[in-house]
Structure 1
Amino acid sequence: MTAARPIGYYVHHHGAGHRTRAAAIARAAGGRVTLIGTGLAGKVSDLAYLELPDDRLEPGFTGADGAANRPESLHYAPVDHDGVRRRVAGTAQWIVENAPALMVIDVSVEMAMLARLASVPTVVVRLAGLRTDPAHRDAFRGATALLCPFDEQLEDPATPADIVARTRYFSGLIDRPHPATAQPGMVTVVLGAGGNDVEGAVWAAAARSAPDMEWHVLGAADALPGAPPNLTWHGWVANAPDRMARSEVVIVTAGNGAVGTVLATGRPLICIPQDRPFGEQRSTAAALVRAGGAVQCDNPATADWPALIERARALDPGAARALDDPSGPERAARWLVKLADRGGRS
């Protein structure tokens, strides 16, 4: 009997959300998936992976490649970068040696094009926001199908119908928090690895404005001297999902992974969308509000936090539950394996 061919899963290295959902799907795929990306070592447990050289420009990487003559079908293609050369070579060599039946790309139009050039069918992960630029259009056109890591209710209404028709939606692609009882008065703020523009002083002011609440800030925020006694700075922690589950109210930037984790806890959600390419977080926040799953705060520095907290407390928990699928990783894995076993035919 011929052994089942592997599925390659490219993992983008900005933030933690791409790696989290890739690992969730890989764990449910019965050993078929090999994760491919930068910064995977020591972070994906015992899952199979290929570590790639870093392709980022230094210092102060912003995602811009500085290329004056980049084709419209590419987003990031710096010239004369050794990391990019070795990254392309390493991926191509893995494809040659392993003959994958399918490549999942989360996310990179360049890697989607590379896989197609190497004669491998692709599934392209499509994030929130309006992604109708030439590069995204070409990557989508070359794919067998598209995968959105959120519920269909959170689709941007401006997304073209032909893109929606080729998309499958899978929510719940997260590290699921353990069930917990909410601690009254506990507010947890989670600032993700993808970056945020909210200074620590904003959270000190927020805690002062709601002194009856215990505020806990996790992630990328610097502790401030003289912060109020009801504010605790934790920095990066290993058990952020479980802390969210114990909170009465959770405040997060509107990244896919953070939002998905809060929805899984069922806790009242306040989202503070950050500026991202293609309006990703603002699209997510607006969709959450439409679906009744969150309260949106556009300017944390001037917000009326006691009023926002009361609005969040009044949200219908059923709306959040409808946006989270605990079996999402298993459903996504079954679909991808089926596509792979069909030779990448939808």
Structure 2
Amino acid sequence: MGLTGWYVHHHGAGHLTRFRAVRPHLPGEVVVFSSMPPPRSLPPATTWMQLDRDDDGDPAGADPTVGGLLHWAPLGHAGHARRLATIAAAVADRRFDRFVIDVSVEVALFVRLLGVPTVVVTQPGDRSDDPHRLAYASATRVLAPWPAGVHRSHMAGKIVEVGGISRFDGRTREISPDPGTVLVLGGGVAESDLAAAAAATPGTHWQRAGGTASTWVDDPWEALQRAEVVVAAAGQNSIADLAAAGARAVIVPQPRPFDEQVATGRILTARRLAVVEPAWPGTGAWPAVLDRARSLRPDWTQWEVSGAARRAADTIAQVGP
């Protein structure tokens, strides 16, 4: 199997969560590169190389997009230079058979220029801009963590759609939902909005998992099973986790570059998998919104979560010698 490099983007917890879901199915040694500090524990045969940050300071005058050619390559930034130098030194010191990039156009191009075949993880939304096209064109494989055919793609023959990757793939539901229980998954919701929604829906019990240190739950599987309705954003990991749990859900897409979550919301609506609201509903709207979610009978098998992490690992392992 040889040696696999894996770049984990530092924004949020989703990229690391996806790595953790796929890693048990990927044989061989893996070296992770990320601006994130190393987690408390790592899988066997896995090492972590922490990279310098390059998103601090004022980018004004640093031409970080190179006139639109790239997404982030600021001029004169020592951290940016050191992070790429760290990757280059590692590749020069050991032979990497493949390198997964989740996600960075600049790292994808840099690693390919170093002579290592790449697997670039793509995301929903409009990725037809020049930097994304360049990264995908340079990749040996483009890995899409969504069901086959849900997003239009110009990467025919290169993209592999493996299904939604969930850390809960393989678990079975053992708890029936508690009537009236509403779980808010993740952050992005003000406590005042949460309190107002709870006050407007007598007979419901609202709780939160994630978003802040005080509400963070390492393993929300039990809470997902107990919830009659789950309220979440439209991030890839959240949707895959909802699919694994077979949840009835209200999805509120958050603003993201390239309309990533809005695009996912459209698919969920078209497939009748969730109630999708363009913004956090007004206080008076919540009773009807929850009633609509309770009436759903979502066929989450459409999200192809079962076996997705293994399919992703197989796609990665096929790249290289």
Same fold (TM over 0.5): yes
Deviations 1:260-309 (A, max 9, x none): 11111001011100110000010011111111211101221416112111
- For 2:5, the equivalent position in structure 1 comes to 8
Report matched runs for 1:128-147 at 5 Å: 128-147=124-143
Query: Does the 8 Å CA contact 1:172/1:327 hold for their aligned counterparts?
Result: no
Which residue number corresponds to residue 261 of structure 2?
A: 281
Q: Residues 208 and 123 of structure 1: is their aligned pair in 2 closer, same or farther, counting only changes over 3 Å?
A: same
Amino acid at match of 1:97: D
After TM superposition, list the pairs within 5 Å mapping 1:15-30 onto structure 2. 15-30=12-27
Unaligned runs of 5+ in 1: 223-233, 342-346
1:119-139, Cα deviation, whole Å (9 max, x unpaired): 111111110101011100100
| Cα distance in 2 between the residues matched to 1:180 and 1:66 | 56
Q: Identity over the aligned pairs, expressed in percent?
A: 32
Does the C-alpha gap of structure 1 residues 328 and 269 become closer, same or farther in structure 2, counting only changes over 3 Å?
same
Instruction: Tell me how far apart the structure 2 counterparts of residues 31 and 179 of structure 1 sit (CA, whole Å).
Output: 32
User: Tell me, what secondary structure is at the counterpart of 2:143?
Assistant: strand
- Does residue 166 in structure 1 map to residue 166 in structure 2? no
Contact 2:8 2:33 in 1 (8 A): yes
Partner amino acid, structure 2, of 1:174: S
> Residue type of the partner of 1:179?
R
Change (3 A) 1:288 1:66: farther
| Cα distance in 2 for residues equivalent to 1:65 and 1:76 | 12
Query: CA 1:316–1:69 in structure 2 vs 1: closer, same or farther (change >3 Å)?
Result: closer
Unaligned runs of 5+ in 2: none
Deviates further, 137-146 or 237-246: 237-246
Q: Aligned partners of 1:69, 1:208: CA distance in 2, in Å?
A: 46
Deviation at 1:141, TM superposition (A): 0.8
Q: Which digits, 9 at most, give the CA deviation of each residue in 1:77-98, with x for residues without a partner?
A: 1222222122111111111222
User: SS at the partner of 2:316?
Assistant: helix
User: Cα distance 1:129–1:314, how it changes in 2: closer, same or farther (>3 A)?
Assistant: same
Q: Secondary structure at the match of 2:192?
A: helix
The C-alpha deviation readout for 1:181-240, integer Å capped at 9, x for no partner, is: 122211100124xxx3x3221111110111111100222369xxxxxxxxxxx6212222
Amino acid in structure 1 at the alignment position of 2:124 = A
Aligned to 1:187: 182
TM-score (norm 2): 0.90
Cα pair 2:252 2:276 within 8 Å, conserved: yes
Task: Measure, in 1, the Cα distance between the counterparts of 2:258 and 2:88.
Answer: 29
- Name the counterpart of 1:53: 51
The within-5 A match list for 1:320-335 is 320-335=300-315
Q: Find the counterpart in structure 1 of residue 32 from structure 2.
A: 35
**1:165 Cα offset (Å):** 4.3
> Structure 1 residue runs of 4+, over 3 Å off?
56-59
CA shift in 2, pair 1:258/1:310, >3 Å: same
Q: Secondary structure at the match of 1:68?
A: coil
Q: Does 1:235 align with 2:215?
A: yes
| TM score, norm. by length of structure 1 | 0.84
Q: 1:107 to 1:251 in 2, by over 3 A?
A: same
